[in-house]
Amino acid sequence: MKNGKINTIFFDAADTLFFIEQGLGKTYASVAKKHGGDPDPNDLKKAFSKAFTTAPPLAFGGVSDEERKVLEKGYWRDIVENVYEEVGMFEEFDAHFDELFEVFRTHAWAIFPETKEVLEILKEKNYKLGIISNFDSRVYDVMKNLGIQEYFDTFIISSEAGHAKPDPNIFHLALKETGADPKGCLHIGDNIQNDFHGPRALGIQALLLDRENEYESIGDQHKIKSLTEIDRFLD
């Protein structure tokens, strides 16, 4: 997929540029224990996967910023409530959830070792960089705290866009915001549907970030194990 005409590079956010430093199960468990819960991290991870997979898209169109923030928190509260209904509810759930929600705005995350260096190189080469993410408005705080927000020209977030990947509308919105031609764009992310098949359906080139080599069916010409490998796909 090497193409010298790429001028705009879109990135997914979570698990592409940054990750949950202690893992989801341990992060949830550590906050729960402060509020009287004692869940098993592995049980939490399994219950979260189930709750998140069955949840509706994180997308709220046509609402004010204040209303969106209420909807975002309510969305995650429903998921976390479902998690603890699965593993065992505890009395101080409300206070626990409020703290957990803020933990995932702040210190839950860490950037991958290569992230900042790769972004710096791409900016030096004058690529336009954008985010297309199924995230909520906390992503701005997360990326600011990690020192990477400044590298991006465009942010397309599902909770603001009203559409979530792999819905074509979120990619159309990104193209409209940047004024870019699909053929001149590259999208990079870790989810095969959202970040690979989704953009490719619109003629946007895509690289699947497959750090653990889970997707053997995707040829090496379409995937990378580290962000440092992006360069070999660019002119």
Q: Say whether domain 8-19+109-233 belongs to CATH 3.40.50.1000.
A: yes
What pLDDT, in 10s, does the model give residues 9-18? 999 999 999 9
Residue 1 has pLDDT above 80, yes or no: no
Give residue 217's pLDDT band: very low, low, confident or very high (50, 70, 90): confident
Residue 23 has pLDDT above 70, yes or no: yes
> What pLDDT is recorded for position 61?
86
| Higher per-residue confidence, 62 vs 76 | 76
d(CA 68, CA 36): 30
What global pTM score does this model have?
Answer: 0.95
Domain boundaries, the chain: 8-19+109-233, 22-103
Burial of 155 (0-12, 13-18, 19+ CB in 10 A): buried
Which CATH code of 3.40.50.1580, 1.50.10.20, 1.10.357.10, 1.10.150.720 fits the domain covering 22-103?
A: 1.10.150.720
Q: How do strand 109-111 and strand 223-224 relate by DSSP bridges? A: unpaired
Burial of 17 (0-12, 13-18, 19+ CB in 10 A): buried
What pLDDT, in 10s, does the model give residues 99-149? 999 999 999 999 999 999 999 999 999 999 999 999 999 999 999 999 999
**Mean confidence (pLDDT) of the chain:** 96
Return the structure tokens found at 3.
Answer: 């193409």
> What pLDDT is recorded for position 220?
87
Residue 155 has pLDDT above 70, yes or no: yes
> What pLDDT is recorded for position 235?
60
d(CA 162, CA 136): 11
Residue 40 has pLDDT above 50, yes or no: yes
Give residue 181's pLDDT band: very low, low, confident or very high (50, 70, 90): very high
